[in-house]
Amino acid sequence: MRLTSRFNAKAGFADLWDYLREPRPYRWPLLAVSFAIPLGGLLALTQESHFRPPDAPKVSYISTFAEGRSDEEIRQSNIANQQRKEAREAERAELQERKVEAYKALGRATGLDVDAMEREAAIERAREEAAAEARRRELYAAGSDGADNGE
């Protein structure tokens, strides 16, 4: 059986023409809408747009240091910065200690064995630190072995 004998386009167009010739209300507006929808979609899909690449960013370097500083001035600046950093870290450690003491007081007030919990936490921290140290040593050994073998 041939494909062309199964599908007859001539009969389909004849049926469409007969259907369109029948007097129906709103026949022309509906026909216009049914043509406009796919044509509008095709029009939207076939529009080409080209975007220009963005401008390169302009970098402004802001320096708060005086130009031509001597090595001694740089050294003094570094020492002052280190002292400020240590002061911040000490303040942060004090706040952390106060927080721990507040939680301990709360735990004692609610009847928990805070000392046992602190011992368990210390043991767990020691385990984690030992594991981290073992990983560091392993990575250091692997890195130094690889550097020796590669040369």
pLDDT in tens, 124-141: 999 999 999 999 999 988
Q: Vertex 132, ends 130 and 134: CA angle to 5°? A: 70
Q: Which tens digits make up the pLDDT trace of 79-119?
A: 999 999 999 999 999 999 999 999 999 999 999 898 999 99
Give the integer Cα–Cα distance in Å for 129 and 116: 20
* Contact (CB, 8 A) for 117 and 107: yes
Q: Which tens digits make up the pLDDT trace of 31-65?
A: 899 999 999 999 998 888 788 899 999 988 877 88
Domain residue limits at 131? 113-146
118 falls within a domain: yes
139 falls within a domain: yes
DSSP 3-46: HHHH--HHHHHHHHHHHHHS--TTHHHHHHHHHHHHHHHHHHHH
pTM for this prediction:
0.41
Q: How many CA atoms lie within 13 A of 47 on its CB side?
A: 6
Is pLDDT at 27 greater than 70 in this prediction? yes
96 falls within a domain: yes
Q: How many domains does the chain have?
A: 2
